[in-house]
């Protein structure tokens, strides 16, 4: 299997996320998670079922993307099995039908709590107001496992989020999610960043670095986050995009590099 020697951070993140995907149900947020699902559908999990918060089930999204990714665009509903409503989607998530959730996030903490509401200050006087949780709260609350995809920057990886828009393991104590009324055995599963692949320790629920992305060192990972993650031993280094992954992303899925152009270029 051949691999490319030059790729963007976004391309590698999408490939890493796609390789995690299985033939099951996925409650999907927009952006990189959407690209990861489309890539996985073509290479790794042809029978996956993608569901979106506004009620569309199992679309075969028409490609290529021609403008910034947005939900409810008619191209994203192409050949869908059904188009129902948000209440239907959230209800089926709450009863455990939607196994995985995939999200892009602005800020995350060491226990997997997600902030997409505001940065700095307080609710009434934020330094930066964000878009809000949308359907991310339901995804993070109800799906059995949640995968997040985000750029690896110090301002995004913090000890405690400024606001819990979507719950992870909350304060990290045993049973914290259950005490908050969330389903048992649900929660964060993986975090894909532009520098590493993270999971969560089963006992402490702290974020744990499982693997480095190519061209990255452990020191770079640590320098660009505000808390010390647990580190797997041995620490794996993931492969770069394969030639076929790169071809599909660059020629069929996002040739205008609407998403894939984000992040720096890596040359091995």
DSSP 3-state assignment of 60?
coil
Supply φ then ψ for residue 193, to 5 degrees: -115, 180
CB 146 within 8 A of CB 101: yes
Strands 196-200 and 188-193: antiparallel
**How far apart are the C-alpha atoms of 102 and 89, rounded to whole Å?**
15
**How far apart are the C-alpha atoms of 146 and 168, rounded to whole Å?**
9
Half-sphere exposure of 182 (CA within 13 A, CB side): 22
Q: Which two tokens stand for residue 248?
A: 């599909």
DSSP 3-state assignment of 49?
strand
CB 35 within 8 A of CB 253: yes
Q: Which two tokens stand for residue 119?
A: 């940065």
Residues recorded for the chain: 268
DSSP 3-state assignment of 126?
strand
| Alpha-carbon distances, residue 92 vs 35, 83, 167, 187 (angstroms) | 23, 14, 18, 17
| DSSP H or E stretch at residue 13 | helix 9-19
Q: Give yes or no: 53 in active site.
A: yes
CB 235 within 8 A of CB 209: yes
- Among residues 11, 12, 53, 138, the one annotated as catalytic is 53
Task: Give me the active site residues, please.
Answer: 53
């Amino acid at each position: 299997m051949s691999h490319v020697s030059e790729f963007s951070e976004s391309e590698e993140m999408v490939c890493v996320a796609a390789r995690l995907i299985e033939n099951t149900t996925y409650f999907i947020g927009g952006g990189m998670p959407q690209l990861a699902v489309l890539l996985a559908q073509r290479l790794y999990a042809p029978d996956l079922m993608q569901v979106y918060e506004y009620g569309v089930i199992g679309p075969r999204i028409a490609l290529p993307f021609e403008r910034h990714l947005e939900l409810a665009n008619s191209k994203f509903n192409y050949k869908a099995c059904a188009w129902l409503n948000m209440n239907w989607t959230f209800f089926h998530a709450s009863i455990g039908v939607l196994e995985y959730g995939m999200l892009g996030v602005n800020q995350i903490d060491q226990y997997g709590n997600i902030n997409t509401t505001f940065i700095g200050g307080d609710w009434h006087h934020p330094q930066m107001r964000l878009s809000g949780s949308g359907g991310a709260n339901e995804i993070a609350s109800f799906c059995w496992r949640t995968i997040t995809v985000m750029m690896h920057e110090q301002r995004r990886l913090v000890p405690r989020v400024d606001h819990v828009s979507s719950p992870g393991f909350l304060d990290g104590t045993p049973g914290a999610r259950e005490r908050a009324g969330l389903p048992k055995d649900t929660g964060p599963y993986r975090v894909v960043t532009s520098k590493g692949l993270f999971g969560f320790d089963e006992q402490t629920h702290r974020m744990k670095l499982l693997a480095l992305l190519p061209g990255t060192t452990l020191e770079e990972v640590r320098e660009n986050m505000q808390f010390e993650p647990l580190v797997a031993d041995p620490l794996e280094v993931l492969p770069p995009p394969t030639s076929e992954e790169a071809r599909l992303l660059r020629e069929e899925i996002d040739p205008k590099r609407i998403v894939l152009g984000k992040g720096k270029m890596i040359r091995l």
